[in-house]
Amino acid sequence: QKEVEQNSGPLSVPEGAIASLNCTYSDRGSQSFFWYRQYSGKSPELIMFIYSNGDKEDGRFTAQLNKASQYVSLLIRDSQPSDSATYLCAVFTITQGGSEKLVFGKGTKLTVNP
Amino acid sequence: GAVVSQHPSWVICKSGTSVKIECRSLDFQATTMFWYRQFPKQSLMLMATSNEGSKATYEQGVEKDKFLINHASLTLSTLTVTSAHPEDSSFYICSARQWTGGNQPQHFGDGTRLSIL
């Protein structure tokens, strides 16, 4: 069973602070990693994706990947109340049967306090 | 770009009714679409992978005769919940992948909240 683990939170940070969200995965062969944001009652929205070790920045968001440690993180700088949501880590994996799918973590709930 | 439209947004119906949900990629062709189900406070669970022009691949434990999937074109996939019962009440979300590359991002529709009375 290929798994993706996230701290469910809630993670609370003050407005303007850096929020750090973490994710570990079990499939050492995974190559593609995604962060989605899901507001309550809504469907997931793609925030970032990363394929290579290191950092990838997009505006206030930075994704970090360490394949050796099987660890991927998302940093949100200058956090805003509108960033309050559940953040889902997803890992692209190929099953033993050869099918391709995204495996999602349970998500980390982030609250940014004004 | 990469807009996925899902319809309807809400369905409330009586037990035993069959419900059809549509998923369309509006500005790209999607050879592969995915159907997920999400129960309250839980993560997304993949139900099936839908490939244009071929039979869907269902995840273990998902009844293919109950959840009928049709992917007749490169922009449309449908999920029909047949003879729905209260335990089928959930948030159903589709997603579409823009290219044939398996590791490309999936883009999600807005979801359909299904309530069976």
Written in H, E and C, the secondary structure of chain B is CCCEEEECCEEEECCCCCEEEEEEECCCCCCEEEEEEECCCCCCEEEEEEECCCCCEECCCCCCCCEEEEEEECCEEEEEECCCCHHHCEEEEEEEECCCCCCCCEEECCCEEEEEC
User: Average of pLDDT values for A27-34?
Assistant: 91
Cβ–Cβ under 8 Å, residues B15 and B86: yes
Q: Would you state the torsion angle of the CA atoms of residues A81, A82, A83, A84, taken in this order, to the nearest 10 degrees?
A: 70
pLDDT of residue B117: 94
Distance from CA of B21 to the nearest CA of A (A): 15
How does pLDDT run across A68-82, given as a tens digit for each residue? 999 999 999 999 999
Best of A7, A31, A43, A93 to substitute, by most chain B Cβ atoms within 10 angstroms, is: A43
Nearest in space to A10 (alpha carbons), one of A108, A113, A103: A108
A105 contacts in chain B (CB < 8 Å): 43
Q: Which two tokens stand for residue B106?
A: 């999936």
Which residues from B are below 8 Å from A36, CB to CB? 108
**Nearest-by-Cβ selection for A49 from B43, B105, B108:** B105
Average pLDDT over residues A95-109: 86
Determine, for residues A99 and B34 on separate chains, whether the beta-carbon distance falls below 8 Å: no
- Asked if the Cβ–Cβ distance from B103 to A32 is below 8 Å, we say yes
What number is the average pLDDT over the span A18-24?
97
| Chain B interface disruption, residue of A102, A104, A109, most B CBs within 10 A | A102
State the pLDDT confidence band at A1, using cuts at 50, 70 and 90: low
State residue B99 phi and psi, 5-degree precision.
Answer: -120, 175
User: Residues of B with CB below 8 A from A45's CB?
Assistant: 108
HEC states along chain A?
CCCEEECCCCEEEECCCCEEEEEEECCCCCCEEEEEEECCCCCCEEEEEECCCEEEEECCEEEEEECCCCEEEEEECCCCHHHCEEEEEEEEEECCCCCEEEEECCCEEEEEEC
Q: Which of A31, A43, A105 sits opposite B43 (nearest CB)?
A: A105
| pLDDT tens, per residue, chain B with 117 residues | 689 999 999 999 999 999 999 999 998 888 889 999 999 888 899 999 988 888 899 999 999 999 999 988 889 999 999 999 999 999 999 999 876 666 788 899 999 999 999
Q: What is the pLDDT of residue A9?
A: 84
